[in-house]
């Protein structure tokens, strides 16, 4: 996002937006549970109904020039899942009571949120944020990505109209129309909380704002296939994960670490699922098309079909191919294909012998990029699953699931539904979990007296406790 000087007119516009937001904040903070639940249902249906969601998905893909029209619509399941999770939780009054500890927790709004929207989800992320924010009685000012300003503004306009249609204040949700880095920085300074879904630059800007910020980290999703993997199902999962929205998501499979015993069968199954196995010569052409001489990712090959990707690299592939596979050159910063790809291409690795050898590859891949985000495994060996969970420097491990359909929550797993995934300190984030309703709220803890709960010192100190040591034995310490 290029820097530009903020004009007086832009400052005046931002002043007006936040003045409306602060006025709206005073209104929504006293809403009942019934009122906020009605609002979240209203805006979720208005922007997330099948007809409208398809229209705004197509708009987002066309405006950005990246992504897949049909694949983008597949993300609608997150709208349903987020609404499900939000409606199942309380967000007004006492939301947790722990009688044995004499504790009651009350929910309070976070206040005014500045929400930074990524180019890859200009339609979904505003809906998700609106559901959780309204549920928590927050007000949101959305800041679009420069490449998808019209799409994000359209989504927010739809949700504002929906609020107005049921007699609610549309200023609970507002959107900035003029976007540049300096203006975004101004918007972040004026809020109470930042929700930043995007890459490292966005995360750095959010954390530099001086305001609390929940951010997402970069991905480099890696799958391990051990000797117990069902090759056909594993290949199908990879195709689903890799091709969703032309691989735009940070959870899309980028690296496959395959046991030598099943490698040939796995490669065949991947080809049957639509994979194109590039030659070493074609891999060299793809590298030139995907990264410039300074090692920066070339935007023209981000989130494009495999046919477009290969054509821009200088060769053609059959129209029925759904993704491209390249053999590993090695693992390290100098080997670009061991990092995040953000398109319909993945890298194949073969490990020989013990499972420890697969784990060593995982170690090295996450030194290149994607620490904190996610990895997965297709295995029925519980020891292998546990070993990966203990070793991998990530906050999510998906077992026998398509990562891009599972990491952010699914109807078939228990992960909290979201479009923003915290990556812990590995990813320079403050949380190691999916960012969901609880992150949009403050809490007031009320404590009443309980029966004394203080174990004796011999129990607390165990073998180190010595009753012969007394306070009276103490002597002044010489300075």
Instruction: List, by residue number, the catalytic residues.
Output: 250
Collapsing DSSP states into helix, strand and coil, what is residue 448?
A: coil
Instruction: Find all residues with CB under 8 Å of 112, minimum gap 6, and list them.
Output: 18, 21, 22, 25, 138, 139, 140, 141, 190, 191, 192, 193
In contact, 407 and 70? CB cutoff 8 Å: no
What is the edge-to-edge ordering of all strands in the sheet holding 275-277? Answer: 275-277, 323-327, 345-351, 255-259, 222-225, 375-378, 397-399
Nearest to 342 by CA among 242, 256, 424: 242
- Rounded to the nearest 10 degrees, how much is the dihedral formed by the CA atoms of 264, 267, 273, 277? -140
Q: Strands 103-109 and 441-447, how do they pair?
A: antiparallel
Taking phi over 0 as left and psi of -120 to 50 as alpha, with beta for the rest, 428 belongs to left
Instruction: Find all residues with CB under 8 Å of 411, minimum gap 6, and list them.
Output: 77, 80, 81
Helix (H) or strand (E) holding 283: helix 280-290
C-alpha distance from residue 452 to each of 26, 164, 446, 457, 460 (Å): 41, 53, 17, 14, 15
C-alpha triplet 95, 212, 369: angle, nearest 5°: 105
In contact, 124 and 79? CB cutoff 8 Å: yes
**Hunting for tokens 């180019």 — which residue is that?**
119
């Amino acid at each position: 996002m290029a820097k530009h000087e903020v004009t007086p007119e832009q400052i005046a516009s931002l002043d007006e937006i936040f003045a409306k937001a602060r006025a709206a904040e005073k209104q929504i903070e006293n809403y009942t549970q019934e009122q906020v639940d009605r609002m979240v249902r209203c805006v979720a249906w208005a922007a997330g109904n099948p007809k409208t969601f398809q229209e705004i998905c197509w708009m987002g893909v066309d405006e950005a020039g990246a992504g897949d029209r049909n694949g983008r619509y597949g993300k609608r399941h997150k709208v349903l899942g987020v609404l499900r999770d939000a409606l199942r939780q309380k967000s007004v009054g006492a939301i947790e009571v722990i009688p044995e500890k004499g504790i009651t927790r009350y929910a309070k709004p976070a206040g005014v949120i500045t929400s930074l929207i990524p180019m890859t989800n200009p339609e979904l992320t505003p809906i998700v944020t609106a559901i959780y924010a309204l549920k928590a009685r927050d007000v949101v000012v959305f800041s679009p990505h420069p490449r998808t300003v019209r799409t994000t503004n359209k989504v927010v306009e739809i949700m504002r109209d929906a609020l107005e249609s049921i007699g609610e204040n549309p200023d609970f949700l507002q959107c900035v129309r003029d976007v540049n880095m300096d203006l975004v920085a101004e918007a972040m300074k004026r809020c109470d909380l930042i929700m930043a879904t995007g890459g490292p630059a966005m995360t750095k800007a959010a954390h530099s704002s001086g305001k609390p910020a929940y951010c997402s980290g970069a991905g480099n999703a890696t799958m391990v296939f051990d000797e117990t993997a069902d090759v056909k199902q594993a290949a199908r999962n990879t195709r689903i994960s890799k091709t969703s929205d032309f691989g735009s998501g940070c959870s899309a499979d980028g690296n496959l670490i395959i046991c030598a015993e099943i490698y040939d069968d796995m490669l065949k199954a991947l080809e049957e699922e639509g994979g194109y196995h590039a030659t070493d010569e074609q891999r060299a052409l793809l590298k030139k098309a995907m990264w410039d001489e300074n090692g920066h990712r070339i935007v023209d090959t981000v989130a494009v079909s495999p046919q477009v990707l290969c054509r821009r690299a200088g060769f053609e592939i059959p129209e029925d191919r759904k993704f491209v596979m390249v053999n590993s050159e090695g693992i390290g910063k100098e080997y670009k294909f061991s990092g995040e790809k953000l398109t319909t291409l993945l890298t194949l690795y073969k490990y020989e012998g013990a499972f420890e050898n697969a784990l060593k590859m995982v170690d090295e891949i996450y030194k290149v990029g994607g620490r904190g985000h996610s990895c997965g495994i297709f295995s029925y060996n519980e020891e292998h699953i546990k070993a990966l969970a203990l070793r991998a420097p990530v906050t999510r491990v998906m077992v026998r699931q398509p990562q891009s359909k599972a990491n952010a929550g699914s109807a078939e797993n228990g992960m909290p539904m979201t479009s923003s995934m915290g990556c812990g300190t590995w990813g320079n984030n403050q949380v190691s979990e999916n960012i969901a309703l609880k992150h949009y709220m403050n809490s007031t803890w009320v404590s009443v007296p309980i029966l004394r709960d203080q174990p004796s010192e011999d129990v607390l100190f165990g073998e180190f406790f010595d009753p012969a040591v007394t306070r009276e034995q103490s002597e002044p310490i010489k300075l």
